[in-house]
Amino acid sequence: MRILIVQDTDWIRRNPIQHTHLAERMVLRGHDIRVIDYEILWKEEGEKELLSQRQVFHASRVMEGSNIEVIRPPIVKIPILDYVSMLWTYQREIIRQINEFKPDIVLGNDILTTRLAFRVAKKSGIPTIFYSIDIEHRLVPYRALQPLGKLVESGNIMSADLVISINEGLRDYTIKMGADPEKTHVIRAGIDTQLYDPSVSGDRVKEQYGISDSDKVLFFMGWLYQFSGLKELALELTKIQSLHPEIKLLIVGDGDAFDEINSIRLENHLEDKIILTGRQPYERLAEFIACADVCLLPAYNNEIMRDIVPIKLYEYMAMRKPVISTKLPGVMKEFSEGNGVIYIEKPEDALEKALEIIYEGNITKEGDRARKFVEKLDWEHITDEYEYTLNDMLERYSYGDCNT
């Protein structure tokens, strides 16, 4: 089958997400996939130009040899006007791809590009899938535009022929946003159990960043949102360093909170205790997790985090690491109790709970529970389910019935 994916973010430079894994595996199974993406980091990292040029990439993010064609239409590089310009440039590209590529399915998971693509697909008689991995309107960078974003997101969900969510909490959310329950389906996030293997060594990372075998390492990876809880954790770490000099905080990634965390680190002379690596290649992430004693998701229980289950949790757990998470409803619904995820009330509690796990000797027990939980979520099995679901939807669509 031929699938056109559209998204409001960067396929090339942002961390691979669920449909990145699925798309590349589908390509290796013989399906044809193209992506239309958006250079979301243009303000920080893009070329200094008023009007960008159309670009075409061939990218393999997680599966060597997948080489998905990624098209990036031009935009006006002025804040807010970048999105306004997309109304013309992206619609033109979507029409071009539907005429040239002739997709069997159009899939979107965001707001603006999905809206544009679904409208064109409907006129062309092409079935559409909304792939829910986040509460999308809450990620709109301009707060004043979030109500409009919610309205458009709801329209996308209601108009889709099939809504796939990565957990039950997000399925419930899409139904509240107007999805027909009969057209919703849950396909959980997967894990590459060969890449994320507990036998992977972290020695190279330890040597690179001055981590000794006697150190106790708390670990986080991903985008550093202001609400990630890491600033609060860093401040708590400043209070106990004289009592627990063996504790280190290893953070892989960049984002909005990076500079503030670094300021806490420098002001408190904790350069060797709070390690900020910046963004790292996907293929090295298992090495970094291997260094950890305990992995972290100390995020605030806000509107963005409430219903999602970040893919990093599965990767932590596959590496046989216990995870400390705030009581996020989506996470608790997915993992419940006794599966290697230990819950806290607020970000400031993460350090105390980590010390408890470490010094009561529960790392191995909780890590074993975590690995056991995710072993059944191997990406190949998830891709089997995804492929079957898409084929079934196409068959139903051809008979005028897209209920799943």
Using an 8 Å Cβ cutoff, are 202 and 222 in contact? no
Same domain, residue pair 362 and 389: no
Same domain, residue pair 129 and 47: yes
- Bridge partner residues of 272 (DSSP): none
CATH number of the structural domain spanning residue 272? 3.40.50.2000
Q: How many domains does the chain have?
A: 2
Same domain, residue pair 175 and 227: no
Same domain, residue pair 141 and 247: no
Q: Is residue 364 part of a domain?
A: yes
- Bridge partner residues of 359 (DSSP): none
Q: Is residue 196 part of a domain?
A: no
Cα 44 from Cα 46, distance rounded (Å): 6
Task: Collect all residues with Cβ–Cβ distance below 8 Å to 154 and sequence separation of at least 6.
Answer: 177, 178
3-class secondary structure per residue, the chain = CEEEEECCCCCCCCCCCHHHHHHHHHHHCCCEEEEECCCCCHHHHCCCCCECCCEEEEECCCCCCCCEEEEECCCECCCCHHHHHHHHHHHHHHHHHHHHCCCCEEEECCCHHHHHHHHHHHHHCCCEEEEECCCHHHHCCCHHHHHHHHHHHHHHHHHCCEEEECCHHHHHHHHHCCCCHHHEEECCCCECCCCCCCCCCCHHHHHHHCCCCCCEEEEEECCCCCCCCHHHHHHHHHHHCCCCCCEEEEEEECCCCHHHHHHHHHHCCCCCCEEEEECCCHHHHHHHHHCCCEEEECCCCCCCCCCCCCHHHHHHHHCCCCEEEECCHHHHHHHCCCCCEEEECCHHHHHHHHHHHHHCCCHHHHHHHHHHHHHHHEHHHHHHHHHHHHHHHHHHHHCCCCCC
Same domain, residue pair 219 and 239: yes
- Residue written as tokens 């958006």? 38
Q: From 17, 7, 306, select the one nearest 170 (Cα to Cα).
A: 306
Q: If you compute the radius of gyration of the chain from its CA atoms, what whole number of angstroms results?
A: 21
Same domain, residue pair 148 and 13: yes
Q: Is residue 404 part of a domain?
A: no
Cα 240 from Cα 34, distance rounded (Å): 50
Q: Is residue 346 part of a domain?
A: yes
pLDDT for the residue numbered 214:
95
Cα 1 from Cα 103, distance rounded (Å): 8
Same domain, residue pair 158 and 285: no
Cα 68 from Cα 390, distance rounded (Å): 19
Q: Is residue 195 part of a domain?
A: no
Regions in the chain scoring below 50 on pLDDT:
403-404
Q: Is residue 275 part of a domain?
A: yes
Question: For the CA atoms of 236, 237, 239, 243, what is the dihedral angle to 10 degrees?
Answer: 140
Task: Collect all residues with Cβ–Cβ distance below 8 Å to 188 and sequence separation of at least 6.
Answer: 166, 167, 334, 377, 382
Same domain, residue pair 126 and 139: yes
Using an 8 Å Cβ cutoff, are 106 and 128 in contact? yes
Q: Which domain range does residue 138 map to?
A: 2-190+379-398
Same domain, residue pair 139 and 241: no
Same domain, residue pair 233 and 367: yes
Same domain, residue pair 245 and 309: yes
Q: Is residue 119 part of a domain?
A: yes
Same domain, residue pair 21 and 159: yes
Q: Is residue 403 part of a domain?
A: no
Cα 171 from Cα 176, distance rounded (Å): 9
